[in-house]
A and B are shown apart, each in its own frame.
Chain A
Amino acid sequence: MEQHKGKLEIARRAALGLAVAAAVGYGVGSVKAQESPADGVTKDRIDWGLLMDMSGPTSASQSIWVAGFQDYMKKVNEGGGIFGRKVNVLAEDNRFNAATDKIAFEKLVGQTPVIAISGMGTSASQVALAPTIKAGKVPIVGTYTSTSALSEPVTPMVYNGFCGYKQMAQAGVGYLAEKTGAKAPKVVTVAIESAGGKEYHDYVAEAVGKLGGTAQLISVKVTAADITPQILELMAAKPDFITIYGVANTSILTMKALGQYGAKIPAFGITYLGAPQIFKAIGPEAGANYNFISCFTPGGADASAGNAEMSAYADKVGRGAMKEDINYVAGWVVGQMAAEALQRTGDNPTRAKLVETLSKGFTVDSKGLAAPFTYTPTNNTGPVVFKMFGYDYATNKFKAFGEYADYAKYTK
């Protein structure tokens, strides 16, 4: 009997041991399952990719966007990360070159894998990589520029993260037509010679056409040092207002030359032309006629919670000078968008789970840095509500003309 009891005890202990071993084994297995190195997810880190121009011709704006994104993620990491994992931002410099972009994209997909990619600021690369991205597994969360090749038709792999040209044109034209009181406005688009410039002008022409007006395109060279011939053509057209598409230099040359000729024609630039350096370069006299249309609020331009939070953090990390740049704000907001997406994906993220989560739709609340914008399974447009901004030379700060809600009517 004793012997039998002893055997039972041995069997019981063996069973218990096996159960514990199985439980430990299961536990270890489940910890391993939480890591997806091939998707850029490890036990304590999530790798997130950026593809932007950081040393090429558009680096002056795109590298500031990168700084905004990185700073938001630094803030997230300082707060403990996402479900205990730090977000590690892998920023690749494409030098505004589609070939370099393709190499960097492949690297982020397979070599140093990331869970998702943001930015993609080179439109030529977007067009070239669109089929690969749409058929691939790595989602593009928050593009810096939107091309129809990449974002149309709507795909669960792409989410626009910047103000769209169409809405810029609609809001800007609508606002200035009302402000100038022009019934059938004559508008001139000053644009650098590029596909984007033509596309933007087409949207302007469409918006002006709806008001019964006409639009004329005047092209300028991206690296021009003087645009006198184009300014003479512009003045001969006698427009009610002007819209400018291009780089900082395009706005500066246009507004300076108009000031030199004593022409006080109202003008608005696209969102990318919302840098304080532009206003400082053209000076208060010409600057009084120049505004820019944006779906983001520059740092210090209002007292919203999001703006205060971003401005305080930028000051803390020594990037106070960048906070007024709309590109920094845009990078910060896409950072919010990325963090929100990871949060929603849960504590065991993979590329597939992220895509599944994103494709169900979600809203980004930037706490006032932009009007809340929503992605749905049929609409990945991103920010669509705009506001006009000018510069207050007395305080050296941007000033907003009205609220986002006042402008929603133009882009409905």
Chain B
Amino acid sequence: MFQQVLFSGMALGSIYGLVALGFAVIFKATEVFNFAQGMFVVCGAYLAVTAIAILDLPFPVAVLFVLVMAALIGAVIQSTLIQPLAGRPILAVIMLTIAISIVLRAGIEIAYGPPARTLTTPMPSGGFAFMGLMISKLHLTAALVSWACVILFGLFFRYTSIGLLMRATADSHEAATISGIRVNTMNRLAWGIGFTLAAIGGVFLGQLQIVSTELESIGLLALPAVVIGGMQSIPGAVLGGLLVGVIEQLAAAYISPKASDVAIYVLLLAILMVRPWGLLGQRGINRV
């Protein structure tokens, strides 16, 4: 049972890690603690419903539709709502992300109506036995896609010129501006990437269960994941996601389903007390 639970926890944690990665990209670039990340997950699931069930697009085109739309929405949110608040107190920006979440939820409920939607894609379903474990094909696909995204974005940040510009912007907005980098464009890109990663997570979560605005609460598990892994750390977000997934499943298996949330937040508290910058985060040093 332990191995089986471990596998399902890691598969689930990979999705959390993906959403958390999106959160970390936004935070690293713009220092905005985005409480709307859970609703971005929901938006991804509904974009997939729109493409597949409403527009009846072929699956590859539907995937492209979700990715492009998610990136666009993220960029539009940054340029129209977040950017005008640049330089304002952080609390105002945090309140804004909460407002974005509420507006997105209401908008979805008005546009799509109250019934939850079914998301059916050609992605593999069912399971197969492997070394005594029963592997869910959908969970495995979700984990593989999540890891592919993590590696892809890792390479993007590490080896492309835009990735380099984004990292430079994240390190210091002032220095980036002096160097001629279009900081706002980089920030827009970060929000586009953050939204897209959350949307991919939403597509998988929507298929694992049903598409409704209640997916937000699952998407919000990305928040403890990034705090555990380290707010500024991209590998930390992925590690945090994995830990959240595994702990959630182990607690549900060996204590009680209700204990899963408690276990996650106990770990979060412990990390904050012992290593407040997260497992893979960097300790901030200020000159005095």
Q: Chain A residues in contact with chain B, CB under 8 A? A: 54-55, 57, 59-60, 63-64, 67, 193, 219-221, 223-230, 232, 248-249, 252-253, 256-257, 259-262, 275, 277-278, 280-281, 283, 321-322, 325
* A229 and B253 contact, CB distance less than 8 A: yes
* A226 and B210 contact, CB distance less than 8 A: no
Known: A225-B218, A226-B139. A59 touches B120 (CB 8 A): no
Known: A249-B209, A259-B126. A223 touches B115 (CB 8 A): no
The complex places the Cα of A274 from the Cα of B141 at a distance, in Å, of 30
The complex places the Cα of A260 from the Cα of B137 at a distance, in Å, of 9
* B257 and A219 contact, CB distance less than 8 A: yes
The complex places the Cα of A257 from the Cα of B139 at a distance, in Å, of 11
* B5 and A229 contact, CB distance less than 8 A: yes
Q: What residues of chain A lie closer than 8 Å to B139, measured between beta carbons? A: 226
Known: A59-B114, A60-B114, A64-B114. A219 touches B256 (CB 8 A): yes
- What are 28 pairs between A and B in contact, CB < 8 Å? A60-B114, A193-B256, A193-B258, A219-B256, A221-B252, A224-B252, A225-B12, A225-B208, A226-B11, A226-B12, A226-B139, A228-B253, A229-B1, A229-B254, A232-B1, A232-B4, A248-B210, A249-B214, A253-B208, A256-B125, A260-B127, A262-B127, A277-B116, A277-B117, A277-B210, A281-B120, A283-B125, A321-B115
The complex places the Cα of A325 from the Cα of B212 at a distance, in Å, of 16
Beta-carbon nearest neighbor of B106 in chain A: A55
* A54 and B114 contact, CB distance less than 8 A: yes
Beta-carbon nearest neighbor of B135 in chain A: A260
The complex places the Cα of A256 from the Cα of B210 at a distance, in Å, of 11
Q: Closest approach, in angstroms, between the C-beta of B189 and any C-beta of chain A?
A: 29
> Which of B114, B117, B134 is packed against the most chain A CB atoms within 10 Å?
B114
* A281 and B5 contact, CB distance less than 8 A: no
* A280 and B120 contact, CB distance less than 8 A: yes
Whether, in the assembled complex, B109 has its beta carbon less than 8 Å from a beta carbon of chain A, the answer is yes
* A230 and B252 contact, CB distance less than 8 A: yes
The complex places the Cα of A281 from the Cα of B11 at a distance, in Å, of 20
The complex places the Cα of A225 from the Cα of B4 at a distance, in Å, of 16
Range for the number of chain B residues in contact with chain A: 35 or more
Beta-carbon nearest neighbor of A63 in chain B: B114
Beta-carbon nearest neighbor of A328 in chain B: B115
Q: Closest approach, in angstroms, between the C-beta of A263 and any C-beta of chain B?
A: 10
Query: Per a CB cutoff under 8 Å, which of A223, A228, A261 touches B218?
Result: A223
Known: A225-B208, A232-B5. 7 other contacts (CB 8 A): A221-B260, A223-B218, A226-B249, A261-B134, A278-B210, A281-B210, A325-B115
* B217 and A223 contact, CB distance less than 8 A: yes
Q: Closest approach, in angstroms, between the C-beta of B75 and any C-beta of chain A?
A: 28
Known: A57-B214, A253-B209. A226 touches B8 (CB 8 A): yes
* A260 and B136 contact, CB distance less than 8 A: yes
Q: Closest approach, in angstroms, between the C-beta of A76 and any C-beta of chain B?
A: 23
Beta-carbon nearest neighbor of B260 in chain A: A221
Interface residues of B in 81-108 (CB under 8 A from A): 106
The complex places the Cα of A226 from the Cα of B15 at a distance, in Å, of 12
Whether, in the assembled complex, B205 has its beta carbon less than 8 Å from a beta carbon of chain A, the answer is yes
Q: Closest approach, in angstroms, between the C-beta of A334 and any C-beta of chain B?
A: 17
Interface residues of B in 196-214 (CB under 8 A from A): 205, 208-210, 212, 214
Q: What residues of chain B lie closer than 8 Å to A223, measured between beta carbons? A: 214, 217-218
Query: Per a CB cutoff under 8 Å, which of B5, B205, B261 touches A225?
Result: B205
Beta-carbon nearest neighbor of A58 in chain B: B214
Q: What residues of chain B lie closer than 8 Å to A232, measured between beta carbons? A: 1, 4-5, 253
Q: What residues of chain B lie closer than 8 Å to A59, measured between beta carbons? A: 109, 114
